[in-house]
Structure 1
Amino acid sequence: MNTYLHHHQNRGHVHTDWLNTYHSFSFGQWHDRRFMGIGALRVINDDTIAAHRGFGTHPHDNMEILTYVVSGAITHKDSMGNHGQIHAGEWQLMSAGTGVEHSEVNQNDTPVHLFQIWIHPNIRNAKPNYQQVSLDPKTQPNQWHVIAGPEDNALMHIRQSAEVKTAFLDQDQTLELERQHDVNYVHVISGQIKIGQQILNPGDALAFTTENQMTAMSKDSHVLWFDLPQ
């Protein structure tokens, strides 16, 4: 892989009476052999969940599962004893390990917009773990925030050498892409950015190995960056 633009229109799309979701990689009933994940990254689901609806109790194991709430709030409950809300600007990490059950329900009167991200762990059958942090990049723009990773510079620690970062950029601001690994994937939540010669719009993502800079082409550019092992 050198550089690959993953257009937003190539994502899977499922729209029901309570869930409007876009899948960057094959998930559930949507399957495309071209999009099975990249490196250790397996799932990016861009979910909008209707008021008073959500995902009932279901199991997971051996997966690092991150939830990032962009707007609204979701109520989480799991078999580890955790129960509470994740609000806009907050992140949750559930390291499923040997197995955990959880539910995610929008108990509010307005929709919630969130991202669900799955990363394969490099340690299997570990004890399940839960973490939650608050960091809204809009309040600290034009810099990278390391949300999850294996080192102490990350707010949450995952069982993988990958790093998950986020940034909110003002127009014409540039950030360096100081890569730790050969596999990198930037996903645009809002706004417009440029990496190398590629222009990315909301829902677009770029997989790359050699690019070194990212520039915001519009105000309110909000991105996720996955720095990944193979």
Structure 2
Amino acid sequence: MNAFLHPSDNRGHVKMGWLESKHSFSFGSWYNPKLMGVSALRVINDDIIAAHNGFGTHPHDNMEILTCVLDGTISHRDSMGNERHISAGEWQLMSAGTGVQHSEINNGDIPVHMLQIWIIPNERNAEPRYQQILRDPREQPNQWHLIAGPNTDAPMHIRQNTEVKTAVIEQGQHLPLEATQHINYVHVISGAVQIAEHKVEAGGAIAFLEASQIEALEDAQVIWFDLPEVQN
């Protein structure tokens, strides 16, 4: 199997007071020219935000920003007029388009653990929009759950020829990885999995082209990105 392995210990590690973050790809002050993203996937930040802290109001444009909350609750506010709370098991997709200002604050008494994922859109300067769903794979393990896709019937519509799926896979169970685009990228949130001859542990990832299957070596949660061959 022709694959690119991205071990967890290759990630950047940034700790600054209220925020501890591990960067799969170059981000902010952490830069690795060999890790600039895969296809349209530009950022996977694994963030732990201390209680009563967070990201103050700041701008974005022309980026699809997907947030997956794993523990705790984050409070979102933006210039589109949205004021929402995203709790564990919920997903947020903010399409920044022509530009949006937003904040993400942990108003609770416990840390928030979440993933921030950026995907470069294939449509620039579109109208900003906000989407949010509850899709907790722990409630229905051993199956893929579609989070976002390019078709309007996807749970959340993303402006890119990309599908984002997640699953909780119990130890010893298998799921297929049937490519519908060209590049597959599987990020392991927790646990450990086997894909072909490759073992991938928590925080690590693997990019590959061929259809395959994934086996949980221990209880695991993963995200599968089905990406276009060429960023468009």
TM-score by length of 2: 0.97
Does 1:163 pair with 2:163? yes
Q: Is the 8 A contact 2:47 2:113 kept in 1?
A: yes
Q: Is 1:146–1:153's contact at 8 Å kept on the other side of the alignment?
A: no
Tell me if structure 2 keeps the 8 A contact 1:192–1:199: yes
Query: Aligned AA for 1:128?
Result: P
2:223 is equivalent to residue 224 of structure 1: yes
CA contact (8 A) 2:48 2:114 kept: yes
Aligned length: 229
Deviation at 1:211, TM superposition (A): 4.1
Rounded to whole Å, the distance in 1 between the matches of 2:117 and 2:18 is 20
C-alpha displacement at 1:100, in angstroms?
A: 0.2
Find the residue that maps to 1:125 and give its secondary structure: coil
Distance 1:153 1:2, change over 3 A: farther
SS where residue 157 of structure 1 aligns?
Answer: coil
Deviation at 1:152, TM superposition (A): 4.4
Runs (4+) of structure 1 moved beyond 4 Å? none
Structure 2 residue aligned with 1:210: 210
Which residue identity lines up with residue 87 of structure 1 in the other structure? S
Structure 1 runs not aligned, ≥5 long: none
- 1:129 CA displacement: 0.5
- C-alpha contact 2:46 2:115 (8 A) present in aligned 1: yes
SS at match of 1:98: coil
Task: Establish whether residue 56 from structure 1 lines up as the match of residue 60 from structure 2.
Answer: no
Question: Could you say which residue in structure 2 is the equivalent of 1:150?
Answer: 150
Q: How far apart, in 1, do the equivalents of 2:113 and 2:157 lie?
A: 24
3-state secondary structure, aligned to 1:155: coil
Contact 2:191–2:218 (CA under 8 A) maintained in structure 1: yes
Q: Matches of 2:152 and 2:175 in 1, distance apart? A: 22
Distance 1:102 1:109 in 2: 22
Q: Which residue type is aligned with residue 149 of structure 1?
A: G
Structure 2, unaligned runs of 5 or more: none
1:135 and 1:38 map into 2 onto residues whose CA distance is: 25
1:100-152 deviation per Cα after TM superposition (whole angstroms, max 9, x unaligned):
00000000000000000000000000000000000100001100011001124
Matched, 1:33 2:44: no
**Structure 2 counterpart of 1:224, one-letter code:** I
Structure 2 residue 121 is matched with structure 1 residue 118: no
**By how many angstroms is 1:23 displaced?**
0.3
- The amino acid across from 1:222 in the alignment is Q
TM-score, scaled to structure 1: 0.98
Matches within 5 A, 1:58-73: 58-73=58-73
Q: CA deviation at 1:17?
A: 1.3
- The one-letter code sitting in structure 2 at the alignment partner of 1:52 is H
Alpha-carbon distance, 1:225 to partner: 0.6
1:130-141 pair list within 5 angstroms: 130-141=130-141
Structure 2 residue matching 1:160: 3-state secondary structure? coil
In structure 2, distance between residues paired with 1:122 and 1:85: 28
Percent identity over the alignment is 61
Which secondary structure state, in structure 1, belongs to the residue aligned with residue 178 of structure 2?
coil
Q: CA RMSD in A?
A: 1.1
Residue 178 of structure 1: aligned partner:
178
Whether 2:192 is the aligned partner of 1:189: answer no
Q: Helix, strand or coil: the match of 1:218?
A: strand
In 2, Cα distance between the equivalents of 1:227 and 1:37?
14
Deviation at 1:2, TM superposition (A): 3.2
Counterparts of 1:24 and 1:184 in 2: how far apart (Å)?
A: 16
One-letter amino acid of the counterpart of residue 30, structure 1: W
SS of structure 1 residue aligned to 2:42: strand
Give the deviation of 1:181 after TM superposition: 1.4
The 8 Å contact of residues 62 and 96 in structure 1, kept in 2 or not, is answered as yes
Residue correspondence of structure 1 range 89-128 to structure 2 within 5 A: 89-128=89-128
